Chain A
């Protein structure tokens, strides 16, 4: 674990060094990210200026959900998002070869190596909003303790789905469509499951579960069985990815001609 952390620290330093080399780009990325949070948040506030409740949640509960989704989204942006784009390019251009040569699991290097460091500030902003609306939604002490686990679970499910989608890069080579599919998953999980009608919800369950189940649990303990099932599903997903799907997919990698 220690050696992984020391490599990860170097990933962070290299990413920061690269991001800070381009000051205008760094500032723009921060501003665009902050505006995304603003637009997403204030759209919901605007809706609540006209209605008392959306689905089963009142304004504070809904905004807590929103901030939870934003926080997961911002951590995802900071740690993982660039890596998915880089992965597509690397598979297409053949520079993924070098990932396979490093003496660390390729899954770790592929999805952890490049951080989007302008996201550091917006993670703090999203974190502040999450705590603020958690207090307004009257979370119990137990739920505050469960909050970090729920964030990790939500992130783990989102990532497992994205990794499963991204694995198709080995077969399709061109990754634009795949990355668009990933972005749609992110888009879907930013809204609560109950806004979809039942038939649609059934098909969208894995994506809607990303944020809806953890937040339903945080707001209502009776959903603990849902959370337990979700935890088991996420564990199984990752077990399958690490030990079967990813290694199998790597055997299909053909590299690119030099």
Chain B
């Protein structure tokens, strides 16, 4: 369904020195540099699945999506989506894909949402009965039915994003690209969008590619993760594999029966230890290979009431990767 081979995209970026002199000089002589936004990206995805595209700002996620949707043309390499080359921009291809961008709106700003939906109905040649059924169903699930006749500019950010999602799903696309669909939303709206996407995926089984800075989105929705750093694919696999590969340490949490006044100096020097105020709880980060040995050592030396390994979130792993630790 999606196939990328050595996909690359460069951007020519204009550089200007600060100040008046820099401004005048740049008017007559431009300095450019080539920014390789995506480099030799290989990917193969099937006809359905929920895939998370992770990476920091400027890592090339959106550029990748834009090449997959045919918005921009690759500099090198090939990309095929639904057996079509996206940059050929065939109508048959465009009828089967959709893109939602959390930072850009495609609904008409000053008219009621329903008017924009009617326009989408014509674009995608949706039968009247199907259109009404889908609008009502999606409106019911996203709890937006009462907002259909309100101009977009009067809607809150969360409401607007739900409407953007509705607009992109009206024609039931086979491949859906969601670029930060929950950006700027409050926790409640984020959860509601997440729950909706999960349900929608379960029911229609499209291929959904999602980028998000909220790792909760990724953890709740994605079956597979692709990590992209500086335009290069660094990882592709399940969330568990992701955590395992990048997080070589585990956090052990020990609760002691009483305050621990003196702890093993050897362990404190070797590993990162974090004590509770009353020194009755310890969080210790231990490399996986030394996990068993360390647990036995602590259990033997101290009176432990209970212990467990702490569940590591994707966010923590991403933090570590991005901070280079």
Q: Do A and B bind each other?
A: yes
Tell me the A residues contacting B by CB distance below 8 Å: 3, 6-7, 9-11, 13-14, 17-18, 21-22, 93-95, 97-98, 100-104, 106, 250-251, 253-255, 257-258
Whether the pair A7, B66 counts as a contact (CB closer than 8 A) is no
A2 smallest CB distance to B (angstroms): 11
Which chain A residues lie closer than 8 Å to B99 at the CB level? 97-98, 101
B66, B69, B119, B122: most-surrounded residue (chain A CB, <10 A): B122
Q: How far in angstroms is the closest Cβ of chain B from A13?
A: 7
Which residues on the A side are within 8 Å of B111 (C-beta)?
A: 14, 17-18, 21
Given A6-B122, A255-B72, A258-B104, the answer on whether A14 and B116 have CB atoms closer than 8 Å is yes
CB distance from A242 to the nearest CB of B (A): 14
Contact of A101 among B71, B103, B105, B116 (CB under 8 A): B71
> Which of B76-84, B89-97, B285-293, B310-318 has 4 or more CB atoms under 8 Å from chain A?
B89-97
Contact B106 A11 (CB under 8 A): no
Looking at the assembled complex, report how far the CB atom of B61 sits from the nearest CB atom of chain A, in whole angstroms.
9
Query: Between A and B, how many residue pairs show CB distances below 8 Å?
Result: 84
Q: Is the CB of A255 within 8 A of B66?
A: yes
Cα of A86 to Cα of B118 in the assembled complex, Å: 21
B interface residue count range (under 10 / 10 to 19 / 20 to 34 / 35 or more): 35 or more
Q: B125: nearest residue on chain A (CB-CB)?
A: A3
Residues on B with C-beta less than 8 A from A11 are 119
Identity of the chain A residue whose Cβ is nearest the Cβ of B69 in the assembled complex: A101
Q: Is the CB of B110 within 8 A of A10?
A: no
Q: Which of B103, B104, B110, B180 makes the CB contact (< 8 A) with A18?
A: B110
Q: Which residues of B contact A18 (CB under 8 A)?
A: 108, 110-111
* Chain B residues packing against A (C-beta within 8 Å): 11, 58, 62, 66, 69-73, 87, 89, 91-92, 94-95, 97-99, 101-106, 108, 110-112, 115-116, 118-119, 122-125, 151, 179-180
- Residues in A with CB closer than 8 Å to B106 are 95, 98
Residues of A with C-beta under 8 A to B110: 18, 21-22
Which of A10, A102, A103, A251 contacts B87 (CB under 8 A)?
A: A251
Q: 9 closest pairs, A vs B, by CB?
A: A98-B106, A103-B91, A103-B94, A258-B103, A17-B111, A18-B110, A7-B122, A103-B95, A10-B119
Whether A102 and B123, one on each chain, are in contact in the complex, defined by CB atoms closer than 8 angstroms, is: yes
User: B266 to chain A: closest CB distance in Å?
Assistant: 50
